[in-house]
């Protein structure tokens, strides 16, 4: 099962583009309202989350996704529950995915130590012991990071490839006429 955290101030495209791609691939993914069931994005788009934090079944986690947006990142970073679930996922070799400012949460938690990752420029100083790469998407072991909204589709395809295989990711690319 895949859980995508949504907290007030999240960057809408960084959440909804990967969410759409993963659902097209048949992935069982739930949006999780961190700040309530109705979550307001950075550009005042309100999304109704599928579930809230207490509804997460930790023992069934395959992956977690943290969209960026400064407000959303700060709200996720302030949530002990979010960080506990992220750490649990990483400790159990689940896929941990973060885009834009959200990789800073992973960095501050020490989860990027010894790993390569990317983020929105200016947040790389939070990568305690990690190596920042100036790339749009970086996969290192069970971590996928991305630099921002412009790479949201590429981020979604990388997650799809990790969960469902390259063939499925390529099929979705073709269906939606994705061009690089």
pLDDT at 13: 98
Half-sphere exposure of 32 (CA within 13 A, CB side): 27
Other C-beta atoms within 10 Å of 93: how many?
A: 10
pLDDT in tens, 87-146: 999 999 999 999 999 999 999 999 999 999 999 999 999 999 999 999 999 999 999 999
Contacts of 67 (CB under 8 A, 6+ apart): 4, 5, 6, 10, 11, 14, 15, 18, 99, 100, 102
Nearest to 132 by CA among 119, 150, 142, 146: 119
pLDDT at 46: 98
pLDDT at 149: 97
Average pLDDT of the residues in 69-81: 98
Contacts of 44 (CB under 8 A, 6+ apart): none
pLDDT at 53: 96
Q: In what order do the strands lie in the sheet with 143-146?
A: 51-52, 29-33, 2-6, 63-66, 95-99, 143-146, 137-140
> Annotated catalytic residue: which of 97, 100, 140, 164?
100
pTM equals: 0.98
Q: Is the pLDDT of residue 180 over 80?
A: no
Q: How far are the Cα atoms of 6, 9, 30, 58, 98 from residue 143, in angstroms, in the given order?
A: 19, 23, 19, 18, 8
Q: Is the pLDDT of residue 171 over 80?
A: yes
- The answer to whether residues 10 and 32 touch, using CB atoms and an 8 Å cutoff, is no
140 assigned to active site: no
Domains present along the chain, CATH in parentheses: 2-175 (3.40.50.880)
Interatomic CA distance for residues 113 and 12, integer angstroms: 28
Average pLDDT of the residues in 49-60: 96
pLDDT at 107: 98
pLDDT at 49: 98
pLDDT at 47: 98
pLDDT in tens, 132-169: 999 999 999 999 999 999 999 999 999 999 999 999 99
pLDDT in tens, 2-12: 999 999 999 99
pLDDT in tens, 27-50: 999 999 999 999 999 999 999 999
Q: Model confidence at 179, in pLDDT bands (50, 70, 90)?
A: confident
- The answer to whether residues 101 and 70 touch, using CB atoms and an 8 Å cutoff, is yes
């Amino acid at each position: 099962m895949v859980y995508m955290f949504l907290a007030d101030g999240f960057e809408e495209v960084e959440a909804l583009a990967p969410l759409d791609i993963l659902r097209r691939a048949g992935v069982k993914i739930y949006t999780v309202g961190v700040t309530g069931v109705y979550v307001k994005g950075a550009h005042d788009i309100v999304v109704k989350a599928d579930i809230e934090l207490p509804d997460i079944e930790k023992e069934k986690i395959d992956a977690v996704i943290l969209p960026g947006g400064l407000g959303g990142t700060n709200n996720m970073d302030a949530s002990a529950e979010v960080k506990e679930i992220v750490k649990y996922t990483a400790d159990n070799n689940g896929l941990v995915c973060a885009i834009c400012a959200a990789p800073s949460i992973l960095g501050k938690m020490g989860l990027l130590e010894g790993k390569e990752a990317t983020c929105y420029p200016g947040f790389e100083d939070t990568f305690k012991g990690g190596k920042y790469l100036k790339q749009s998407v970086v996969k290192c072991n069970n971590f996928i990071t991305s630099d921002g909204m412009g790479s949201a589709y590429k981020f979604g395809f990388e997650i799809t490839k990790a969960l469902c295989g390259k063939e499925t990711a390529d099929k979705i690319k073709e269906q939606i006429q994705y061009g690089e």
